[in-house]
A and B are shown apart, each in its own frame.
Chain A
Amino acid sequence: MSLKTVSDALSLTISAGLVLAGILVIFIWIKDRTRKISYLRIFIQAVSLFAIFSTVLLLAQWNSLVLAVVILVLPIFVGRFFCGWICPFGFYLDLVSLVRKTFRIRYWILPEKVNVYLHKLRYVIAASVLATPFFFGPLDVKTWSSFLQFQGSFKPLIVYFLGPLEPLLIPWPGGIGFNGYSLSYPYIRGITIYWNDPLFSTIAVWAFLAVTVASSFMVRRFWCRFCPTGVSAAALNRFSFLKRIPIVHLNKSEEKCTKCGICKRACPVQVTEVYEQKGGDIATSMCMMCLRCVEMCPYEGCLKVNAAGKTIIKSRNWLEPSKSE
């Protein structure tokens, strides 16, 4: 083991520890102020963006591992918490929403049916992304290049600075491969290998960005409603027998709920289960754990976020600054 590897590992540990400690401190400091979840979230998103960038730039040979941990392992325990709080692409979409908010433009609400349809469509998208290297790989890449562009976070290197998740596409030695194509779904780095028309790819990439950003301007977090990464993160939420694995749960107390509907209106991905379900664990595969509903719920202790059996955040009577706890 060379000295450089050790120093890299050390600095990585230190920076990761600092970020985690910072987040913890902010949590403790903010514990009392459910009202401020939004600010906290934006802050943590910005920190994560910075952390991901620095990991990628400074620790080149570790980046894939770190990001694989962040994107593959973390969701097992915290579900789509990643999407709401860490994902840089989600952060961009939130910034777009902020711009819209400052202009006092009203967002569009997708009809419930369309939204449900999108929820189902994301499995199709995820499946096709997964299948791409198997079926389309050996074919002429140019035929499929445009198709491959529409993969959200899995865009080629060209938009590296626009989508910090791009490094996921960089091949790293030791990955599981099949016939020269990567199988390490969802990070199909093999795709970039086929890429040999920079002009077309640039146009396609910018078109993709324009479409997602423009759509997110009017529909909150539009891309997140069918993002393939989100599907992989949420897969564990789909099966009831796996419900015990995630440690972060969103709980609702039936008696305290007056069905005022604020949670339904405030949700950026239009999840209706928080409103409709009677009580208990209400997180669904669509829920990004952004905790906007917990922030907006005006009833003390109606919505609770439980992590490892402990309540970390609960909705409170946000009309008054709380004194105790």
Chain B
Amino acid sequence: MKSQGQERKYVPELPQKEAEELRNSAKTMSMKVMADNIQRMKKTAPNRPEAMQYFDDISNFFGQREKEIRAEKEKGKKVIGYFCTFAPIELILAADAIPVRVSSGFYDTSKLGDRIVPVEVCPVIRSTIGAKMVGLSPYLELSDAIISTLTCDGMTKLSEIMSDYKPILTMSPPRVKDSAQSLHLWIEEIKAVKAQIEEVTGNKITSKKLRAAIETMQKATKAFRRLQDLRKGNPVIMGRDAMLVNQTSMWDDIKRWTEKTEALCDELEKRVQQKAWVCPPDTPRVLVTGTPMFWPDNWKLPTLVEEATPQGVLVADELCSSDRILYDPVGIDEWTMDDMLKGISERYLMASTCPCFTSKDGNEDRINWLLNKTKEFKVNGVIYYVVRGCMLYAMEYSRVKKALDRINIPVYYLDTEYTREDVGQLKTRVEAFLEMLTARVDF
């Protein structure tokens, strides 16, 4: 596991036996959690779309997809992991590699991460470190290189810690996005990472392949947007189900994912005609924004919202682990290599609403996105979800609150941790908020 016999900068050696024990216990636990989550999702929505079965299967971390990737790897394909949605997936696909997102959602491993970084650090980072220490996440283990975008402080150091194990391709996004020089920097970063991807995979990214990759992703975006559009009306799909569909795109074969999502949308459209709603149409419609939530363990909040009494339904979110993954397409004016690379750079930088950006008028794109979504999806209330240690999202809260107050949408700040212990307490808080929303909806 050691990288080229060098001494590790950060991570202490874990005795083989201890690592194995920890891995097994964490694996058993998260398999249980995954099965439990899916079970509960089925229970909440008795007439759950049948097409969801595929996503249930593929969402299993230790199942079908892991085997497929292993088989592909044996055939010589490379796997490239990434932490942030800034990683140019089109380039990975064009180099015949498999893109997988490796940010971790395992609760148990966040405690292991505490051995290296202090508890104050964002649990996503700690959990990813912990998962790597014991080799829990199969996608993280299988990836040949990891694209790390230095967005927040946590990600910046995470890439350094991870370089103890894997080759890391770092990309440094500018902190201001609406200036010519920052776009210039980012284009250079994209070009550099393209060269690095070519080196890792040994395949040259030709303009033909890149165009095919961009078109593949555009088709995926099309399916993705179709699903989001269906959530605008009365609820035909529970928010958790849609979130699961969105999340599976992070590791599934994107072409197959597109097909299956289209199939799901076909089924949902039929349901819209039959008026077969998954929950009463007057259920409060909730939007979640804030720290990304990762399958499998960090499914706490969506579960709470949709299983609470009174029930709420997640109709949209502004999470880089869900609605933001595929929302923006790469738009190409002319299909030349140069224009394609520019299109990719602009799509990943300019359209992003990550709070790591600032500008003279603040991260206005995020506010606009939220206002627009709130109106489009007829949202009744917004839950601002932050895990402890996620500075950037926490600091933007007051601005978001102010903007949403202006259009009379209640916002609720919910901070939590990668732990299962506070579920009871969170439940009370979420239910109180939903109760208030129900009162407003009735009113």
- Whether chains A and B associate is yes
Interchain CA distance A297-B328 in the complex, whole Å:
11
1/0 per position for A255-297, CB-CB distance to B under 8 A?
1111111100110000000000000000000000000100011
Instruction: Say whether A104 faces chain B, with CB atoms less than 8 Å apart.
Output: yes
- Please name all residues of chain B whose beta carbon is closer than 8 Å to the beta carbon of A262 when the two chains form the complex: 331, 333, 343, 346
CB atoms of B336 and A319 under 8 A apart: no
- Please name all residues of chain A whose beta carbon is closer than 8 Å to the beta carbon of B180 when the two chains form the complex: 112
CB atoms of B333 and A265 under 8 A apart: yes
CB atoms of B346 and A107 under 8 A apart: no
Q: Which residue of A lies closest to B207 (CB)?
A: A104
Say how far B4's CB is from chain A's closest CB, in angstroms. 40
- Please name all residues of chain B whose beta carbon is closer than 8 Å to the beta carbon of A140 when the two chains form the complex: none
Say how far A250's CB is from chain B's closest CB, in angstroms. 18
CB atoms of A254 and B368 under 8 A apart: yes
Given contacts A106-B338, A265-B333, A298-B331, contact A259 B365 (CB under 8 A): yes
Instruction: Say whether B350 faces chain A, with CB atoms less than 8 Å apart.
Output: yes
CB atoms of B225 and A255 under 8 A apart: no
CB atoms of B368 and A265 under 8 A apart: no
Given contacts A101-B334, A105-B336, A298-B328, contact A259 B221 (CB under 8 A): no
Q: Which residue of A lies closest to B224 (CB)?
A: A319
Given contacts A260-B328, A266-B333, A296-B333, contact A255 B339 (CB under 8 A): no
Given contacts A259-B350, A319-B225, A320-B226, contact A265 B329 (CB under 8 A): no
Instruction: Say whether A317 faces chain B, with CB atoms less than 8 Å apart.
Output: yes
- Please name all residues of chain B whose beta carbon is closer than 8 Å to the beta carbon of A266 when the two chains form the complex: 331, 333
Instruction: Say whether B371 faces chain A, with CB atoms less than 8 Å apart.
Output: yes
CB atoms of A257 and B368 under 8 A apart: yes
Given contacts A265-B346, A320-B226, contact A260 B369 (CB under 8 A): no
CB atoms of B338 and A258 under 8 A apart: no
Select A106's contact among B178, B218, B334, beta carbons within 8 Å.
Answer: B334
CB atoms of B328 and A320 under 8 A apart: no
Interface of A, helix, strand, loop or mixed by DSSP: loop
Interchain CA distance A298-B326 in the complex, whole Å:
12
Say how far A272's CB is from chain B's closest CB, in angstroms. 10
Chain B: residues with Cβ within 8 Å of the partner, total of: 34
For residues 81 through 106 of chain A, which have their beta carbon under 8 Å from a beta carbon of chain B? 101, 104-106
Instruction: Say whether B353 faces chain A, with CB atoms less than 8 Å apart.
Output: yes
- Please name all residues of chain A whose beta carbon is closer than 8 Å to the beta carbon of B222 when the two chains form the complex: 317, 319-320
Instruction: Say whether B300 faces chain A, with CB atoms less than 8 Å apart.
Output: no
CB atoms of A104 and B335 under 8 A apart: yes
CB atoms of B225 and A258 under 8 A apart: no
Given contacts A106-B336, A317-B225, contact A258 B331 (CB under 8 A): no
CB atoms of B350 and A260 under 8 A apart: yes
Instruction: Say whether B372 faces chain A, with CB atoms less than 8 Å apart.
Output: yes
Interchain CA distance A104-B206 in the complex, whole Å:
14
For residues 329 through 361 of chain B, which have their beta carbon under 8 Å from a beta carbon of chain A? 329, 331, 333-339, 342-343, 346-347, 350-351, 353
Interchain CA distance A292-B333 in the complex, whole Å:
9
Given contacts A106-B336, A106-B338, A258-B351, contact A265 B343 (CB under 8 A): yes
CB atoms of B371 and A255 under 8 A apart: yes
Select A260's contact among B225, B334, B339, B346, beta carbons within 8 Å.
Answer: B346
CB atoms of B339 and A265 under 8 A apart: yes
Say how far A125's CB is from chain B's closest CB, in angstroms. 27
For residues 270 through 286 of chain B, which have their beta carbon under 8 Å from a beta carbon of chain A? none
> Can you list 26 A-B pairs with a CB-CB distance of less than 8 A?
A104-B207, A105-B336, A107-B334, A112-B180, A255-B368, A255-B371, A256-B372, A257-B368, A258-B350, A258-B365, A259-B350, A261-B346, A262-B343, A262-B346, A265-B333, A265-B339, A265-B342, A265-B346, A266-B331, A296-B331, A297-B331, A298-B328, A298-B329, A317-B222, A319-B218, A319-B222
Counting from the closest, the 8 A-B pairs by CB-CB distance are: A319-B222, A262-B331, A260-B351, A261-B346, A255-B372, A266-B333, A261-B350, A106-B336
Chain B contacts to A: CB under 8 angstroms: 177-178, 180, 183, 207, 218-219, 221-222, 225-226, 328-329, 331, 333-339, 342-343, 346-347, 350-351, 353, 365, 368-369, 371-372, 375
Chain A contacts to B: CB under 8 angstroms: 101, 104-107, 112, 254-262, 265-266, 292, 296-298, 317, 319-320
